[in-house]
Structure 1
Amino acid sequence: MPRSRFHGSFDSPKVDVVIDMGNPFLNRTVDGFLKIGTIGASRVAAEETYHSLRKGSISKHSVEHALKKMCKEGAYWGTVAGVYVGMEYGVERIRGTSDWKNALIGGVVTGALISAASNNGRDKVVVDAITGGAIATAADFLNYLT
């Protein structure tokens, strides 16, 4: 019986913007902020476009609201990413090794810091620290598998 196969790959375009802050810690932190902040802003842009199209109208007010929300979400996502990347790099430098434990510690510290900065109670800070560590470790393991 004849069979055919299709082999191919898809590579997304890679855009790298390098901002040299003169320090590897700052370079990585700013890079994480910019990349993930852009993703957060893009997510809001897609959501707001969908909602405007679903309503069938676009007003000046809705555009201003979307832009404000894009800036807020982009700054929030970027801040979380910048703190995480900086923490992971700092832990790597302190420990002198590159392994999954850096992701775990960086995620725990980031989750706790962001939660504490949001004026959450002690229990919520602990839960967010555990969640941050779990997500960062899982992402590191998934990255290792691919």
Structure 2
Amino acid sequence: MPSSRFSSSFSSPDVSVTIDMGNPFLNRTVDGFLKIGTIAAARVGAEEMFHCIRKGSISEHKLEHSLKKMCKEGAYWGTVAGVYVGMEYGMERIRGTRDWKNAMLGGAVSGALISAVSNSSREKVVVDAITGAAVATAAEFLHYLT
């Protein structure tokens, strides 16, 4: 019986910008900030463009508002990513091993730090630490699966 088979592979483009800060901790932190900050800004830009197209008009005020929103979101999510990447790398250096526990601890510390800066409730800080640990651990496990 005749059969056919389709085989191919997909690869994502490798876009790397290296900024050498002279320290591996700083290098990873800045890299996380730039990559995730850029993604967050691009997401906001795409949303804003969609809203302008849907309305059928764009104004200088709307453009200025969109750029400010892109910068704010990019800076926020870039900072979150930078703190997480730095904490995970710090945990790796402190523990002397590279495993999922670094992601969990880095996520917990990052979640607690970011929450403590923006919230005053101890309970919210603890919940955000648990959430950060859970998300980082899940992401690490998913990374191992692929």
Name the TM tier (shorter chain). over 0.9
Calculate the TM-score normalised by the size of structure 1. 0.96
Q: Percent identity?
A: 78
Equivalence map 1:1-146=2 (5 Å): 2-146=2-146
Output the CA distance in 2 between the equivalents of 1:96 and 1:139: 21
Calculate the TM-score normalised by the size of structure 2. 0.96
**What amino acid sits opposite 2:135 in the alignment?**
I
Output the CA distance in 1 between the equivalents of 2:113 and 2:85: 13
Output the CA distance in 2 between the equivalents of 1:8 and 1:70: 37
Q: CA deviation at 1:2?
A: 3.8
Flag as ranges the 4+ runs of structure 1 deviating above 6 A.
none
Structure 2 unaligned spans of 5+: none
Moved more, 3-12 or 95-104: 3-12
**What amino acid sits opposite 1:34 in the alignment?**
L
Q: CA deviation at 1:122?
A: 1.0
Output the CA distance in 1 between the equivalents of 2:27 and 2:131: 26
Output the CA distance in 2 between the equivalents of 1:59 and 1:5: 53
How many residue pairs align between the two structures?
A: 146
Q: CA deviation at 1:11?
A: 1.7
SS at match of 1:34: helix
Q: CA deviation at 1:7?
A: 1.8
Cα root mean square deviation, aligned: 1.0
Q: CA deviation at 1:8?
A: 1.6
Output the CA distance in 1 between the equivalents of 2:63 and 2:5: 47
Structure 1 unaligned spans of 5+: none
**What amino acid sits opposite 1:79 in the alignment?**
T
